[in-house]
C-alpha cells in the first residue's frame, strides 16, 4: 500500500490542538468556521498520495487516455495488487479471473475502478482503533449503509451508483475523526453510536460542539479533493440540502440518508416488526418501492462480508436478514387488512 505509517495515523500534535481548540470553542458561535480552519491547518488529516490525486485528475476528463491510467497504476505495485483483489471479489459479479489493470478497466469500467481505489485507500487511512468508539459496529453500519445505498441507487440514480456507494461508505467518517480528536469528551456521543444506542448523534454533536460529524466528514472529503457531489452528500446526510442544491445532491442525500436509517435498524434491532416498520419508512424516504427490498436484503449479508474482506475491516457478525426478508415477503403478499400490522 502507498500509505506510510506516518500518514496512516492522525498526528498526535494535531489532535491535541484540535482537542484544546474544541474545548475552548464550545461556547463560540463561529465554531464551525474556526473548526474548519483548524482542521485545514492541522496535521490531523492525512494527505492523499499523489497517485490517487493524479488518478482523479485523469478520470475527470471524459476523453481521458486509458493508457495514462494503466501506466499510472502500474507504477505503484501495491495499488495494482489492491485493485485486482477488489476487482476479483464476488461483490462485483465478475466470473472470470482478472489479472491486469487493463482487463479490470474493460470488465468493470473506470468509474467502478475509481470507487475501488478510493474505498481501499481512504478506508486504510481511517481504519483504526479508538478508545471511545465501537469501531466494529461503526464498520458494520457503514458497510451495510454503503451496500444498501448502491442497491437503492440502481432504482433512482443508476448513473451515479458508484458515487452513492462511496458517499454512504464515507458519510460517517467524521465520527471517527471527532472520536479521535476529542477522546473522552466525545464519549457520551460515541456511547449513542452502538447497537441499541439512544439519541441522535448529529443533534448531540451540534448541541455540544456546534458542528456535526457530517460537516467534519465534508471537511475531510474536501481536503481529499473528492467530487463535490460526494462531499455535499456527506455534509447534508443528517439534514436537508439547501434549496438551490443540484438535484443529484438532493437525490443522493435521500438515498444515503435512507440507507443509513435502514443500516442503523438492521444493525441495532432484532425485533422484526420494528424492523419492517423502519424498512417501510426508509424505502419511502428513498423513493424506492418497498417490493424491491427483499431482493436487496437477500444479497446484503454476502455483500457486507465481501466488502469487509476486501477492505480489511472487522465487522460484527449478524444473520438477521433472512428473517426480515421472510416477514417482508409475507407482508407484501398478504391481502389488504390481513398482513402484519406495521
> Which stretch in 34-42, 166-174, 177-185, 220-228 sits in contact with Fe ion by CB under 5 A?
166-174
Query: Which residue is at the shortest CB distance from Fe ion?
Result: 172
Question: Closest distance between Fe ion and the C-beta of residue 171, in Å?
Answer: 5
Q: Phi, psi at residue 113, to the nearest 5°?
A: -60, -40
By beta-carbon proximity to Fe ion, the closer residue of 98 and 201 is 201
Q: How many residues bind to Fe ion according to rule CB under 5 A?
A: 1
With CA atoms as reference, report the closest residue to 226 among 70, 81, 115, 141: 115
Site string for Fe ion, 116-155 (x = CB under 5 A): ----------------------------------------
Question: Closest distance between Fe ion and the C-beta of residue 261, in Å?
Answer: 10
By beta-carbon proximity to Fe ion, the closer residue of 192 and 325 is 192
Site string for Fe ion, 171-190 (x = CB under 5 A): -x------------------
78-97 binders of Fe ion (CB under 5 A): none
With CA atoms as reference, report the closest residue to 90 among 306, 252, 243, 241: 306
Question: In the structure grid, which three cell numbers stand for residue 187, read together?
Answer: 464519549
With CA atoms as reference, report the closest residue to 301 among 160, 195, 108, 147: 147
Please give the Cα distance from 236 to 240 (Å, whole number).
6
Looking at beta carbons, which pairs linking 279-284 to residues 24 or more positions away fall under 8 Å?
279/324, 279/328, 280/342, 282/258, 283/258
> Which stretch in 31-39, 64-72, 109-117, 165-173 sits in contact with Fe ion by CB under 5 A?
165-173
Question: Closest distance between Fe ion and the C-beta of residue 238, in Å?
Answer: 5
Is 143:169 a contact under the CB 8 Å cutoff? yes
Question: Closest distance between Fe ion and the C-beta of residue 210, in Å?
Answer: 17
In the block, residue with C-alpha cell 416477514: 327
Question: Closest distance between Fe ion and the C-beta of residue 157, in Å?
Answer: 19
By beta-carbon proximity to Fe ion, the closer residue of 101 and 304 is 304
CB within 8 A of 329, min separation 6: which ones? 294
By beta-carbon proximity to Fe ion, the closer residue of 117 and 167 is 167
Question: Closest distance between Fe ion and the C-beta of residue 289, in Å?
Answer: 25
By beta-carbon proximity to Fe ion, the closer residue of 69 and 263 is 263
Question: Closest distance between Fe ion and the C-beta of residue 321, in Å?
Answer: 22
> Which stretch in 39-47, 145-153, 169-177, 322-330 sits in contact with Fe ion by CB under 5 A?
169-177
Please list the alpha-helical segments (H only) found in the chain.
5-8, 12-25, 31-41, 50-60, 66-74, 77-87, 101-108, 110-126, 135-156, 161-170, 173-182, 187-190, 201-209, 213-223, 228-236, 247-268, 272-286, 293-298, 300-311, 321-333
Distances (CA, A) of 268 to 191, 192, 198: 13, 11, 11
The one-character DSSP state at 98 is P
The CA-based dihedral angle spanning residues 101, 104, 110, 112, taken in that order and rounded to the nearest 10 degrees: -120
By beta-carbon proximity to Fe ion, the closer residue of 32 and 112 is 32
> Which stretch in 83-91, 153-161, 170-178, 187-195 sits in contact with Fe ion by CB under 5 A?
170-178
By beta-carbon proximity to Fe ion, the closer residue of 194 and 272 is 194
190-219 binders of Fe ion (CB under 5 A): none
Question: Closest distance between Fe ion and the C-beta of residue 189, in Å?
Answer: 12
Question: Closest distance between Fe ion and the C-beta of residue 149, in Å?
Answer: 12
Binding residues vs Fe ion (CB under 5 A)? 172
Amino acid at each position: 500500500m502507498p500509505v506510510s505509517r506516518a500518514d496512516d495515523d492522525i498526528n498526535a500534535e494535531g489532535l491535541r490542538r484540535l482537542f484544546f481548540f474544541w474545548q475552548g470553542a464550545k461556547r463560540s458561535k463561529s465554531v464551525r468556521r474556526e473548526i474548519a480552519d483548524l482542521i485545514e491547518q492541522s496535521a490531523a488529516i492525512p494527505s492523499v498520495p499523489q497517485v490517487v490525486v493524479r488518478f482523479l485528475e485523469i478520470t475527470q476528463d471524459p476523453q481521458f487516455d486509458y493508457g495514462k491510467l494503466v501506466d499510472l497504476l502500474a507504477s505503484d505495485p501495491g495499488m495494482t495488487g489492491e485493485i485486482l483483489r477488489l476487482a476479483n471479489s464476488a461483490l462485483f459479479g465478475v466470473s472470470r479471473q482478472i489479472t491486469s489493470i487493463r482487463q479490470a478497466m474493460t470488465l468493470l469500467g473506470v468509474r467502478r475502478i475509481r470507487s475501488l481505489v478510493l474505498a481501499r485507500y481512504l478506508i486504510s487511512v481511517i481504519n483504526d482503533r479508538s478508545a471511545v468508539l465501537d469501531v466494529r459496529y461503526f464498520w458494520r453500519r457503514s458497510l451495510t449503509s454503503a451496500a444498501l445505498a448502491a442497491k437503492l441507487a440502481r432504482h433512482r440514480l443508476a448513473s451515479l451508483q458508484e458515487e452513492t456507494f462511496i458517499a454512504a461508505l464515507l458519510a460517517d467518517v467524521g465520527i471517527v475523526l471527532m472520536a479521535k480528536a476529542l477522546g473522552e469528551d466525545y464519549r457520551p456521543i460515541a456511547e449513542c453510536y452502538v447497537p441499541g444506542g439512544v439519541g441522535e448523534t448529529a443533534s448531540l454533536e451540534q448541541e455540544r460542539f456546534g458542528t456535526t460529524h457530517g460537516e467534519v466528514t465534508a471537511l475531510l472529503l474536501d481536503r481529499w479533493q473528492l467530487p463535490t457531489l460526494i462531499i455535499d452528500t456527506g455534509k447534508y446526510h443528517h439534514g436537508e440540502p439547501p434549496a438551490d442544491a443540484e438535484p443529484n445532491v438532493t437525490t443522493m442525500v435521500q438515498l444515503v440518508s435512507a440507507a443509513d436509517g435502514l443500516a442503523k435498524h438492521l444493525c441495532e434491532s432484532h425485533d422484526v416488526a420494528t424492523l419492517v416498520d423502519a424498512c417501510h419508512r426508509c424505502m419511502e424516504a428513498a423513493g424506492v418501492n418497498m417490493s424491491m427490498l427483499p431482493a436487496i436484503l437477500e444479497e446484503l449479508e454476502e455483500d457486507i462480508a465481501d466488502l469487509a474482506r476486501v477492505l480489511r475491516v472487522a465487522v460484527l457478525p449478524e444473520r438477521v436478514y433472512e428473517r426480515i426478508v421472510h416477514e417482508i415477503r409475507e407482508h407484501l403478499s398478504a391481502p389488504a387488512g390481513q398482513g402484519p400490522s406495521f
